[in-house]
Chains A and B, each alone.
Chain A
Amino acid sequence: MNSYPVELLAQPCPVMFVAGLEAAPPPTPPVQTPGSGAAPTPTSAGSPGHPRVQSLSTTHQDPFVVLQQRLRDALTQTPKNAIWLADRGKTFQVHLVDKNVRFPPRKIFPPTPANRLEEALSASTTARSPLSPLMPSSPLHPDGLIAPIWMRKHLDLVPSVFVLFLRLWELPAPKSPLEGHDNQDREEERRHDMDLATEIANRKKSALERGIKLTVVLIASRRMLDDPNLDSRLTFIRRQSALDSRAALFVLSPVSSAELADFVRSLQDALYESAMEYYSAHSKRVRRKRNRHATPASTAPIPPVLSANPKPMPLRPAGWAVRYEYKLATFAEFRAEEEVARKHYEDCWIQLVDMFSSTGILPPRTKRWAEAKVLVDCISVKICKLYLYHGEHARALAHVNRHVQRFAELSRAWGIGEETFEFWSWLARQQRWLGELLEHGLRGSLKIPSHMPHEPVNPALAAQLAAAGGLAPGSKGASLDLGTALQLGIGVAPASALQHPGYYYFAAAKYTQMRFDRFLKALDLEATQPSALSATPGFMNEKKIDHQALVLELYTRAYDLFKKFSPTASRLTLYIAYHIALAYHNGGKFDLAVRFFERIAKTYRREQWGMLLNPILRTWYASARQMHEVEPAVRLLFEMLAHGVNPQDGTNAAEELVELLKSTSPDKDESLVLDMADARPLGDWTPIFWSNSVFVNEPAPFQLHLQARHGVPFSELPVSALLLFIGSSETPSIVVQHAAGEKTPPVGDVSQVDVGQFSLEDAAKEPVTVSADLRAPSAPGRLVVCGAVSSALPGRLEISKAVLCLQEGSWKIEVPIDVGHRDLAAAPTSLVWLSSPGSPPTFVAVHRQDHGVTTVKHPPHSVAVTLNHNSPAYLDEAYPIHIDIVNDDQRTLAIHVDVLLQPMEHGAEDEIRLGDQKSSALLKGVPCGILGPGEKMRHTLTLSSTRAGGDRVLDISVQSRAVTGDEEEIVAAEADGDESLRLEDHEGAKADTNEMLHTLVVPTIPPFDCSWTVSYARPLQSMREPADMAAYEPDAFESDVAANLMLTCTVPGPWDVELKSVQLDHSNLGSSRAQSCSSELDDFPFVLQSGDSYSATVSMALSRLLQGGPEPPLGAVRCSWRRASSDDVSATSSTLIPLPFLNPPGDDLVAFVDPPSTAHLHVPFTLRLVVQNRHHSRTADLALQLEPSDNFVVSGMRSGRVPLLIAGAQDEMLFNFIPLACGVLKLPTLKLLDKRSAVPAAATDPYGDGRSGSPAPNGQPEADLVPVPVRDARFDVQFESGDEVYGIAERMTILVLP
């Protein structure tokens, strides 16, 4: 934008002139000096007669000087002639001026017209502005539009408000508060005020002429503010100077900076309205003139263009309209009415374009035309800026595009189309100002929008618009607001999408480059065919311009901006860097260009954008040639060869290389090693090993295919040798010397070089050397180096590197090529193995990914491992698994065994044991000693399973290592448990290992299937008395129930079991007591065959405390046994069979009778009824009924109530029976009824134990009472599973003998 007048671009702000704040040196306080009239000069301030003022002003401590300085700072904060103002509200452009500043003349009378035409046009004798085109003295006379000086006038020379700072005269401070002022002082004060008022009045007069608001700020000391006279003095001054009543007079005393800022703010606020009025008045005046002008202009015929007479015509109506619109826009800008301003500017732009369209009105390449072009560009800047102020990016850019498009069309019409440098110069300028404007804006408030697609804000409306085709380009709906389209999320107009200024600088740079190209063309043309062009000032100017520097500057700015806006993006900046490098190259700065190329090429190589690399390589090479740097040039030629690029059209890289090498000589004698690590190699190099693994000392066949690419003729390169490096060797293993036409005539497209079979160790001492024609392969041919390599050591084997050696004259060049890495993107084609080099050659496809590598391994050990065991295993036994290892190999092997027991799901606790190691899960590296060739060994792994049956899974890994003589000792020591020597530490010992894996599933079953049968019986002995203290002894035991437990064990497995003993484990019987176990009587040991059963009975006495629910298993039966088939007689396994749950009968009231088995007729016998209350707390209330019988005579209670039985008590009742008949007679039925069981539920006592329960009501029918069973003590046996079977008293019988 520097090429445009700054006045036409600056953001107008209301102008405020501030006078009376002259800078400190020389210190001149703006104090009205009496007697010096209306024109005090800085020198007059220091005149004698004012010693007090003088003394005040000379010192820097003077608060007034400080105040002035601060005022200056506070007022001049708005930057001058800024193009972008972020804060445009109520700010003034402040100019510090002299108090007596003169304004430019407003209107003057034109001098006498020189000729009649002008007389006719300026017939009126009205006064005119000196800048008017109608004034002959004006720079615009007679047909200029707007001169920057007009803008300058309003920006710098004429204010809208005038602020005058004046010092109020003050009496010296009284020496004491009591001292008053005399009349003489008052008079002097009045005289000073009068002078002040006169000065103000003079200034006011000149301001009033221009409609400028004058405001006076009187500076007074703080003391003065409290002076009661101040008001009257101010009134006097105002009246005398005819100041306005409003916002025209301020008084300021020295205050702090913060307060001063407030003052300045309020001063500007107060005056802003006046400023607006001032500019409104201007606008009104201009509008009036425009309207007056428009009426006759529309009808007045345009004076015919006098082509013969180039005498300038007076300004046409269109020109006047442009002037008025421009002025209206400017004044609107002053008033910060940006919308209005933009509309006027747009009208102005349209009018100007109309003027440009007619070569009659604005003939091209004239001064006025050039001025108008500058003006229209500046107007475009303004319109663009006014849009950008409001964030209307799309419209701003749309205007720029319209401007560029329209004037590009016009330029073609003017004969300065795309083929001229002027056109590109102008276009570059447009892009540049846009970039600069955006930069200005970004420093202010502008934000660059993101063009990320987003969801439509209003999808329905967007869809509707889209469906209606309202946005289809070309349709009438295309006029739809671009910004709206973006907001709706429909899309963007790419040309109107604002980007960061880097893009526009970049475009400017490109256009400048075009401009330079066109200029060079024109220059050439002028040299051969001189034309009028060379004499034009434009052409002369163009000659002076350093285009290269300009292009570089623009590219560099774009580069910086791209870096700034996307710091991570390297490709965009590289793209610009490429252009910079080109510019440097074109400008002859080859060293700088090369530095750029080096950086750029790195990325392009890495990302495999060969197409982009090609022009870089060419230019880079050209630069290198210019700099006479041979080595980089050679390197670049190689890279170009690899990419198939020629240095220039019509040349050949290979030929160029040979020529270069012939014409130069190396600096050093050593061969030149070209580091081409990141560059594309010459041709496609593919190493292939036939198989992916070989044994030690076994030859591994390999082939190295070198396929030439198109444009890489090896035949033209001075190839002397090819070195191949295998493995990590520092020296080449294979050397293929070039010998023209020797030995390997190419068959078809393939030439084969057979290097034969060799060992790596031999090749390390002396490389295998063969001769072949290395210059044979030309695309699409291939050179195949084949052979077989063997290695004595295991490891990876690959062709790690190839070096292509070239020799030409004194040049020796080595090009290392990384053949291991195959470029997937460059060579995605199939991989083949040359199977027969005949004609035609045949290939076999290779489908291995790691085709370039083979692994050298030791041959596997021939070791036979067998596992012997007799499944299923029994729980609780030590189950042997025999591992038999036979060494069928020729090597001596050290054997280690790993055993992993897979964890069981149900928490079995198992153990494995091998040798002296045992574990519940893993045995690792158990040394099993050394096995010589043909030897065998057996190790026994013991598996002990407990708790649960099921399959046990064992992973057995037998590892063998080949050992040599001295290692055997180590292995032997290790096997003995000496940890200080480990085979792993021994060098090379680990190399030759082998491992055999076996998975073993061992089904495991329990040795016995056990079942229990439990029965209960009640002992007949009487209960202890409730108060018997013996019951409370610690070891007191009262058996209430006798339990009989019968165990039955069956052998389920196929293996016979020798039972050694069965014992009751007394250790944990709790509150029960074992009385006997039948096994004590058995003869052990004996063998139980599969399916055999063994039974034993355990008698137990249970305490009454146990009653009332199942009992936990107490105690166990321990069976000691061994597998009968086992050889080990002494081995004993022990299985614990836990006792079953006991659930003894839990009835509380028990009644027994014990009739004799036989009786004699008519002989009385006694029947005892025992009633026991076994409840722990409840008292029993029973009723007895004895049913009559014909067979017996009974004496005793027939019917009645049994005495209350407290808890734990028993009662006996005796009945005498006399049998009356013989035979098996049924005894009379004794019925015991529990009266308490009949208590209704509602009457149940809250304690539930009957302590306070009420007895059953007397009227209770007995049928509802629950009978208590009366049992025959002779048969009282109860089984756990079922009901009582024996001993029911109702069925009791007796045999009566005669």
Chain B
Amino acid sequence: MPPALRINAVAFVSASNAPILVRTFVDGGDDLKYHYLAHTSLDVIEERIAQPKFNECYLGLLFSMEDVAVYGFMTPLKLKIVVALALTDTVVRDADVVLIFKAFHTAYMRSISNPFLRVHASPESSALVDPSPALLTEANADARKVTAFKRRVDDVARSVLGHDNILE
């Protein structure tokens, strides 16, 4: 992994376009800004997936705004993952970004597959065949479950960044 690839933030957005987790990895980072970036990127994602013959998960560079380049990824179950990388002049290899996305996806999958998530879940959430992503939202009152998810996401970011400046 090239060391220059810097993840500023990652956002997980549910199939219904509600935020699941927005995590920033910048010291004193403006959380709100990355919320906005994640939200606006949904537009570009919808535009991309509406194109005929598009059947990839990786959606490529969505846009670059201010000092970040926003990349998008959508899983077959329509979970959207948006990564904001620090803007760079050098070529960012798609393969590297795909790797990051897959790692984040795996982190999500591992967290949502936790059978104990459903123990105290509301009947609406647990009745679904696919566990509701709402189980992992930050609004979830049971913060313990979210913590594990956050930790996994941070682990991915840390391994990409190669150092320990993740906010605990």
Contacts and interface: CB of A to CB of B under 8 A. Distances in A.
A454 to B, nearest CB: 8
Q: Which of B65, B66, B92 has the most CB of A within 10 A?
A: B92
Q: Which of B17, B88, B90, B140 has the most CB of A within 10 A?
A: B90
A615 interface: yes
B122 A611 contact: no
A569 B45 CA distance: 10
A264 B62 CA distance: 48
A831 B91 contact: no
B36 to A, nearest CB: 6
Nearest to B145: A828
Contacts of B132: 824, 828
B90 A489 contact: no
Nearest to B17: A607
21 contacts: A453-B56, A453-B58, A466-B93, A471-B91, A472-B2, A472-B93, A473-B5, A495-B69, A495-B88, A496-B89, A497-B64, A507-B65, A507-B66, A575-B36, A608-B19, A609-B18, A609-B35, A610-B139, A825-B18, A828-B132, A830-B121
Contacts of A480: 91
Contacts of B32: 611-612, 615
B2 A473 contact: yes
Given A489-B94, A494-B88, A474 B135 contact: no
A129 interface: no
Contact of A575 (B39, B89, B120, B127): B39
Interface residues of B, number: 63
B123 interface: yes
Contact of A566 (B35, B47, B134): B47
Interface of B: 2-5, 14, 16-19, 22, 31-32, 35-36, 39-40, 42-44, 46-48, 51, 54, 56, 58-66, 69, 85, 87-97, 119-125, 127, 132, 134-135, 137, 139-142
A503 B56 CA distance: 26
A80 interface: no
A499 interface: yes
B87 A828 contact: no
A510 B30 CA distance: 15
Contacts of B69: 494-495, 497
Nearest to A614: B32
B137 A494 contact: no
A827 interface: yes
A452 B51 contact: yes
A572 interface: yes
A615 B39 CA distance: 15
Contacts of A490: 91, 93-95
A473 B90 contact: yes
Contacts of B95: 466, 490-491
Given A497-B64, A611-B31, A849-B124, A478 B46 contact: no
Contact of B35 (A611, A826, A846): A611
A1016 B32 CA distance: 105
B124 A824 contact: yes
Contacts, number: 173
A986 interface: no
Q: Which of B69, B120, B141 has the most CB of A within 10 A?
A: B141
B64 A471 contact: no
B64 A494 contact: yes
Contacts of B139: 610, 825-826
Given A453-B56, A612-B32, A825-B18, A830 B89 contact: no
Contacts of A137: none
Contact of B93 (A491, A496, A503): A491
A492 interface: yes
Interface in A527-579: 566, 568-572, 574-575, 578
A830 B141 CA distance: 10
A604 B44 CA distance: 17
A471 B125 contact: no
Given A492-B60, A494-B64, A499-B63, 5 more contacts: A452-B51, A471-B90, A474-B90, A495-B88, A607-B18
A494 B39 contact: no
Given A510-B66, A828-B140, A847-B123, A491 B97 contact: yes
Interface string A399-440: 001000000000000000000000000000000000000000
Interface of A: 398, 401, 451-453, 466, 471-474, 478, 480, 482, 485, 489-497, 499, 503, 506-507, 510, 566, 568-572, 574-575, 578, 604, 607-612, 615, 822, 824-831, 845-849, 851
Nearest to A575: B40
Contact of A491 (B3, B4, B94, B142): B94
Contact of A831 (B56, B96, B122, B140): B122
Contacts of A569: 43-44, 46-47
Nearest to A611: B35
Given A572-B43, A826-B139, A453 B60 contact: yes
Nearest to B92: A491
Contacts of A609: 18-19, 35, 39
B89 to A, nearest CB: 5
Contacts of A510: 66
Nearest to B1: A472
A822 B121 CA distance: 14
B91 A493 contact: yes
Q: Which 4 A-B pairs have the closest CB atoms?
A: A494-B69, A473-B90, A569-B43, A453-B60
A970 B42 CA distance: 63
Given A568-B46, A611-B19, A453 B90 contact: no
Contacts of A829: 120-122, 140-142
Contacts of B119: 830
A648 B61 CA distance: 37
Nearest to B97: A491
Contacts of A572: 40, 43-44
Nearest to A506: B65
A508 to B, nearest CB: 12
Contact of B124 (A482, A485, A507, A822): A822
B121 A828 contact: yes
Nearest to A489: B94
A536 B135 CA distance: 59
A831 B87 CA distance: 45
Nearest to B34: A611
B53 to A, nearest CB: 11
A571 B64 contact: no
Given A510-B66, A607-B17, A612 B90 contact: no
Contacts of A607: 16-18, 39
A478 B121 contact: no
A945 B16 CA distance: 58
Contacts of A491: 91-97
B54 to A, nearest CB: 8
Nearest to B123: A849
B120 to A, nearest CB: 4
Given A473-B91, A495-B69, A830 B120 contact: yes
